[in-house]
Amino acid sequence: MNFIIGYHTTQFGELWEKSLFDLVEEAINGVLKQTSLSSRQIDAVFFGNMLAGVLENNLHSPSKVSEILKVNIPIFRAEAACASGGAAFNLAKTYLDSNSNKNVLVVGAEKMTDYSPEETITGLSAASSGEEQEAGLTFPGLYAMMANFYLEKYHFTEENLAYVSVKNHYHGSLNDKAHFRKKISVEDVLKSPYVAYPLKVLDSSPISDGASALILTNRHDLIKKQRNLVSVLASEVATDTISLKERKKFDEILATKIAGDAAFKKAKINRRDIKVAEVHDCFSIAEILAMEDLGFWEKGEGGNRIKELLTMCENGGNLIVNTSGGLKAAGHPVGATGIKQIGEIFLQLTGQAEKRQVNNVRYGLAHNVGGSGGTAVVTILSI
């Protein structure tokens, strides 16, 4: 069994004074301090990052992480668009499965705000198909197509989607590391300008800077000593076509369904056992699809279920979703997101989630998606 023994994240936001590797260093030092480990006690590192090569001609990151840690251990970069963090975590877990008595550092980071929105959007488009890029389809555009299709098929309106952002901004107001800490109303969402019809600015996660890090271990001596110990019951990855148009259904993310089903099977628990989840809400529609595709809600009922706001922590439903604020309010530094999601579940399971703490949590789930659904990673944790 593999265990998470520590988590640290930087502030998420527009961090103009810090470079990508300033953020990486801050996250690494934070998690090492918290777990009282030295860099020499780390046996391997997995680094999640998408855009450094595209935006700032910044590659060979393993060597850059080596320079920060002053070690000569194996270090690997994982890239799966917005699922880069989740993919790095999955690889770290797989590494431990085949190597006993090791400590692995998982760090994810992204530096996105040095560039104009158009440049960053173009960079993000690298994770879509050539035909999508040629048609001028951005990522908001691809999710907007799915949203439009979903709203039309199940007879919902943009108002149904707006509740996702209202809930996640409320959670963000309770998280001092979140990019946005302001509560918003349904009217605020509906009045915000369109990014890609029917999705508006307040349906969309922001462009953020940030880094998050976890320590994963299977070292028996360390496991015995740790106060904050969370076991990894499952971490499953599934992939699908890069092009939305090649998929059979436009109102589901098949990779989420496959990874979710595999994770629940491996963890040997039921959907109702999960009390907290971080799901990939890059756009409001994405959270609704995630809740359905993970099996928490029936297909087509998400538009109504979100309006009940039972997944908001102050309402105390059976499952609270995106207590970090989600990608929407906590921010979405692409490579960091998947690590932050798992880290938030770690905080919840170990009772460290402060104002947003959900009571009596034994199991939690993190769900990370790359692109328009080409990759999905589902992780289930327990105390």
Partner 1 sequence: MISPIKIWRRQKEIRKILGKKGKILAWTKIYTPGTDFKKYAPYPVVLVELENNEKAYGQLVDYRDEDLKTGREVVSILRKVREPSIDGVITYGVKFKLL
Helix (H, G, I), strand (E, B) or coil at 364: strand
- Can you read off the two tokens belonging to residue 198? 């029917």
Binding of residue 157 to partner 1 (CB under 8 A)? no
- Can you read off the two tokens belonging to residue 33? 């301090």
Q: Min. distance of Cβ 100 from partner 1 in angstroms?
A: 45
Quick one: which segment of 8-16, 26-34, 138-146, 214-222 binds partner 1 (CB under 8 A)? Answer: 138-146
- Taking CB under 8 A as the criterion, the residue among 159, 185, 197, 354 binding partner 1 is 197
Quick one: which segment of 6-14, 93-101, 128-136, 209-217 binds partner 1 (CB under 8 A)? Answer: 128-136
Burial bucket for residue 22 (CB in 10 Å: 0-12, 13-18, 19+): middle
Of the pair 86, 198, the CB lying nearest partner 1 is at: 198
Binding of residue 350 to partner 1 (CB under 8 A)? no
Radius of gyration over every alpha carbon of the chain, rounded to an integer in angstroms: 19
Of the pair 76, 149, the CB lying nearest partner 1 is at: 149
Of the pair 152, 308, the CB lying nearest partner 1 is at: 152
Helix (H, G, I), strand (E, B) or coil at 139: helix
Q: Compute the distance between CA of residue 189 and CA of residue 320 in angstroms, rounded to an integer.
A: 21
Binding of residue 193 to partner 1 (CB under 8 A)? yes
- Size of the chain, expressed as the number of residues it contains: 383
Binding of residue 246 to partner 1 (CB under 8 A)? yes
- Taking CB under 8 A as the criterion, the residue among 244, 289, 339, 376 binding partner 1 is 244
Residue 10 per-residue DSSP state: P
Binding of residue 235 to partner 1 (CB under 8 A)? no
Cis peptide before 140 (omega within 30 of 0): no
Instruction: Report the greatest alpha carbon distance in the chain.
Output: 57
Give the active site residue among 8, 82, 171, 313.
82
Q: Is 82 a catalytic residue?
A: yes
- Taking CB under 8 A as the criterion, the residue among 75, 137, 286, 339 binding partner 1 is 137
Rounded to 10 degrees, the C-alpha dihedral 181/118/195/9 comes to: -30
Binding of residue 59 to partner 1 (CB under 8 A)? no
Q: Min. distance of Cβ 196 from partner 1 in angstroms?
A: 5
Nearest to 317 by CA among 365, 380, 359, 280: 359
- Taking CB under 8 A as the criterion, the residue among 119, 159, 187, 354 binding partner 1 is 119
- Taking CB under 8 A as the criterion, the residue among 6, 48, 140, 172 binding partner 1 is 140
Given a contact cutoff of 8 angstroms between Cβ atoms, the answer to whether 300 and 373 are in contact is no
Q: Is 332 a catalytic residue?
A: yes
Q: How many CA atoms lie within 13 A of 280 on its CB side?
A: 35
Q: Min. distance of Cβ 321 from partner 1 in angstroms?
A: 26
Give the active site residue among 8, 171, 332, 367.
332
Nearest to 1 by CA among 162, 229, 306: 229
Residues 260-299 that bind partner 1 (CB under 8 A): none
Site mask, partner 1, residues 20-39, x = CB under 8 A?
Answer: --------------------
CB atoms within 10 A of CB 194: 13
**Sheet of 375-382, strand order:** 75-78, 44-48, 103-110, 210-217, 3-9, 230-239, 375-382, 363-370, 274-278, 320-321
Nearest to 214 by CA among 5, 1, 2: 5
Site mask, partner 1, residues 78-117, x = CB under 8 A?
Answer: --------------------------------------xx
Binding of residue 122 to partner 1 (CB under 8 A)? yes
Of the pair 195, 327, the CB lying nearest partner 1 is at: 195
Q: Which residues carry out catalysis?
A: 82, 332
Residue ranges that bind partner 1, judged by CB under 8 A: 116-119, 121-122, 125, 130-138, 140-141, 144-146, 148-149, 152, 193-198, 244-246, 250
